[in-house]
Structure 1
Amino acid sequence: MSADFEAALKEIGGKLSQIEAVMDLDSLRKEVAELEEEAARPDLWNDPEAAQKVTSQLSHKQASLRRLTELRQRVDDLAVLHELAEAEGDAASRSEAEAELAEVSREVDALEVRTLLSGEYDERNAVVTIRSEAGGVDAADWAEMLLRMYLRWAERHNYPTEVYDISYAEEAGIRSATFKVSGPYLYGTLSVEQGTHRLVRISPFDNQSRRQTSFAHVEVLPEVEEVDHVEIPEKDIRVDVYRSSGPGGQSVNTTDSAVRITHLPTGIVVSCQNEKSQLQNKASAMKVLQAKLLQRKKEEERKELDALRDSGSSWGNQMRSYVLHPYQLVKDLRTDYEVGNPSAVLDGELDGFLDAGIRWRKKQSEVA
């Protein structure tokens, strides 16, 4: 085995061993066995919500365990594959081993990022809201581009999405949209996207083809679970119903099934129109409201600590710039991670930005 290959493989193996220690492989196997036993109980589905939680946890834990064990097997197999290639002088096999080494290295790095997600809600699904800000019709179009970007990213990773509500702008694009992305550690992963996203381009809505700068804000919240106990008395909310509508105001529903909920003490307003049933829309809207109230509660608890931190590190500030003209560049202003292919990023290739953001956040917390 060549010295360079051996050194690279040793580094990857060591990094994987650290990941196995952090994720506690023995405990993970034990948790999977216990959840499998619980999932096999004949009375499990007597409580559908509890059953759903058990099966979801089992699926996530099994996937983590499978990913770890398969990566360890691939690392072990690499040493044998490269030794055989060297012994036989087989250039094709040597090239195959080097390609596999690079791929395993990428996957181990991605798994290492997962171990940095240790926040209270990091394991949960993510509820994302996008709002157009300064920039008029271009900002509304930009908000819709961001919506597509995140939905394409989720699609690439086979994460189910559910769009709760879209408010269309009059000329083009959207005023706002709220959707859920389901999967392990998605709140922790996507929370680094929170902040203001800036687009610079030649406006397709300007007949003089002038350059336009547009802004949209992304908010990321954890999906609320029953254990959070966010109590919302009926007297504290006003529920309005209306007809769902699509672009151009054309009716897509002939009944008043869309729901808008106003939380009277805080003034928070949420809406949902993706279901045909008014009850289903109300239930979805209540989940979003609970998430917003939970976030508000956590922010109040952290207020004293946040006041001691440098306001310049706030995620509420502009955090990423997408330039389509006069040059092509997407740059994260916190991490300095950048890509010269905006089309790929806007088509959902976000993993590099997410990994860099998670590592940056970890360093920020260590400094604080």
Structure 2
Amino acid sequence: MAATDFAAEIRTLRNTLHSIQAVSDPAAMRVKIADLSEQASAPDLWDDPDEGQAVTSALSHTQSELDRLEKFGSRIDDLETLIEMATEDVTSDRDDVAATLGEAEAELASIRTDLGELEVRTLLSGEYDIRDAVVTIRSGAGGIDAADFAEMLMRMYLRWAERHGYPTVVLDTSYAEEAGLKSATFEVKAPYAFGNLSVEAGTHRLVRISPFDNQGRRQTSFAAVEVIPLIEGTDSVEIPDNEIRVDVFRSSGPGGQSVNTTDSAVRMTHIPTGIVVSMQNEKSQIQNRAAALRVLQSRLLLQRQAEESAAKKAMAGDIKASWGDQMRSYVLHPYQMVKDLRTEHEVGNTSGVFDGEIDDFIEAGIRWRRGQEQEAGL
């Protein structure tokens, strides 16, 4: 096994860090922090709770990002010092040197991984990438297996969020008759949740021996994943009352006291576009109506962005690759593999993927998407 060329590795780390700093612009971040700190110290800040929350959250997030960026320089310096200590003192015990170099190897791998994650973050420069995400999963072709697959995907994303410490809120669930879900909508509340999860949007395919087939036949089923950015109070998405139809109905599926006994669930239809949003998570019809309106505004916001993007693409010419159908396949029989058909990234640990280990797929998707944008000149 060849010895690690630590000098070359450290040069690579520093070059990567410099590239990230050039994009992130720490100086501009410090100016932003100073401005937000001044706003946060204003005595009337919390007269508007939404504005107060927005300012303090932005300040906390920007300060955290700057601290994280600056910490890498210190980590690389410390690693370089550790290597020098192990290699320059010729009187050191060989076992001690080997242990120190092993420690350096581990820290090198850790920095490389963390820096790679930060590098991917710099690729999330879209207008809404920093937002919270609203994820909707719908079962497709495949009957009961598709409904079961939709529930498996929902658990996968909720476990992914849990692994990262991201809060989630389930807004709506529509249960299938035998098992699984017809559809489900939930929020992921974290900076860049939309930027990360937006690459998960598309058609997912599952191939397995159906647990619902008494003849044990192989079944292919599909589920669709939609990801939209969460609307904010500063977004200008006004919907006239005469463009909305609101229907109320009794919540279905598992529920606590009074959830299934009153007409608290809300179905909101945007008449011009035909977009339908259902909410039944809250006991109050007023709360469900507010949540439905927020998600409807978010979908209209994303639609507007998509129309603008389509216009740019039309001017730039056709892009060779597209998201298309079946963007990812989950094969459980006759072999075990999850493969993204856009990026060609694949893993054999299917149980890990369904337990939320999808960061590699998300990173590959973000890099792939950025490559497509650069190819199209966008």
TM-score (normalizing by structure 1): 0.95
1:168–1:247 Cα contact (<8 Å) kept: no
Residue number in structure 2 paired with 1:204: 211
Quick check: 1:357 aligned with 2:358? no
Give 1:9's aligned amino acid.
I
User: Does residue 1:292 correspond to 2:299, yes or no?
Assistant: yes
Check if 1:258 corresponds to 2:265: yes
Per the TM alignment, residue 187 of structure 1 is displaced from its structure 2 partner at its CA by 1.3
* Pair 1:269 & 2:270 matched: no
In 2, the alpha carbon distance for the partners of 1:246 and 1:63 equals: 41
Aligned pairs for 1:215-234 (under 5 A) are 215-234=222-241
Does residue 330 (structure 1) correspond to residue 342 (structure 2)? The answer is no
TM-superposed CA distance for 1:217, in Å, is 0.6
Stretch moving more, 106-115 or 254-263: 254-263
8 Å contact from structure 2 (residues 258, 283) kept in 1:
no
> 1:228: how far off?
2.6
1:102 matched to 2:103? The reply is no
Q: CA deviation at 1:140?
A: 0.3
Could you tell me which residue of structure 2 aligns to residue 30 of structure 1?
Answer: 31
Instruction: Indicate the larger mover: 81-90 or 109-118.
Output: 81-90
- Aligned ranges 1:50-129 → 2 under 5 Å: 50-86=51-87, 87=89, 88=92, 89=94, 90=96, 91-129=98-136
Deviation at 1:296, TM superposition (A): 2.2
| Residues 164-212 of structure 1 deviation map (CA, whole Å, 9 limit, x = unaligned) | 1111100000011111112122211111111100000111111111111
1:227 is paired with a residue whose SS is: coil
Aligned residue in 2 for 1:10: 11
SS at match of 2:149: helix
> C-alpha distance in 2, partners of 1:214/1:75?
47
User: In structure 2, how many angstroms separate the alpha carbons of the residues matched to 1:152 and 1:24?
Assistant: 33
Assess if the C-alpha contact under 8 Å between 1:194 and 1:316 holds in 2.
no
Q: Give the SS at the match of 1:318.
A: coil
- 1:207-259 deviation line (CA, Å, top 9, x unaligned): 11111111001111111223331111111111122222225999744322211
Once the two structures are superposed, what CA deviation does each residue of 1:133-169 show, in whole Å capped at 9, x if it has no partner?
0000000000000000001101111111111111110
Larger mean Cα displacement after TM superposition, 350-359 or 23-32 = 23-32
Structure-2 residue corresponding to 1:152: 159
One-letter amino acid of the structure 2 residue matched with residue 338 of structure 1 = E
> 8 Å contact 2:133–2:193 — kept in the other structure?
yes
Alpha-carbon spacing, 1:18–1:304, altered in 2? closer, same or farther (3 Å): closer
**Structure 1 residues without counterparts, runs of 5 or longer:** none
Q: Secondary structure at the match of 1:354?
A: helix
Residue 352 of structure 1: SS of its match in structure 2? helix
* 1:3/1:344 CA distance change after superposition, 3 Å: closer
Cα deviation, residue 312, structure 1: 6.4
> In the alignment, is residue 166 of structure 1 matched against residue 167 of structure 2?
no
**What is the letter of the counterpart of residue 352 of structure 2?**
A
TM-fit CA distance, 1:98: 0.8
The 3 A distance-change label for structure 1 pair 310 and 197 is farther
C-alpha contact 2:129 2:192 (8 A) present in aligned 1: yes
Amino acid at match of 1:365: E
Are the counterparts in 2 of residues 243 and 251 from structure 1 also a CA contact under 8 Å?
no
* Most deviating of 133-142 and 259-268: 259-268
The one-letter code matched in structure 2 to 1:335 is T
Q: Contact 2:79 / 2:108 at 8 angstroms: preserved in 1? A: yes
Contact 1:167 1:177 in 2 (8 A): yes
**Deviation, structure 1 residue 339:** 0.6
Does 2:140 match 1:142?
no
* Equivalent AA in structure 2 for residue 142 of structure 1: F
C-alpha displacement of 1:105: 0.4
CA distance in structure 2 between the aligned counterparts of 1:136 and 1:310, rounded to whole angstroms: 35
- For residues 259 and 237 of structure 2, the distance between their equivalents in structure 1, rounded to whole angstroms, comes to 33
- Which stretch has the larger CA shift, 231-240 or 330-339? 231-240
CA 1:250/1:41 → structure 2, altered by over 3 Å: closer, same or farther? closer
Which residue is 2:221 aligned to? 214
The corresponding residue for 1:321 is 329
Match of 1:341 among 328, 349, 357: 349
Q: What is the rounded CA distance, in whole Å, between the counterparts of 1:51 and 1:318 in structure 2?
A: 43
Q: Distance in 2 between matches of 1:357 and 1:10?
A: 27
Quote the Cα distance in structure 1 between the aligned partners of 2:318 and 2:212: 39
3-state DSSP of counterpart to 2:115: helix
Distance in 2, Cα, partners of 1:67 & 1:222: 25
Conserved in 1, the CA contact under 8 Å of 2:204 and 2:225?
yes
1:43 correspondence with 2:51: no
- 1:66-95 deviations in Å (ceiling 9; x for gaps): 211222211111011121122234221211
Secondary structure in 1 matching 2:174 = strand
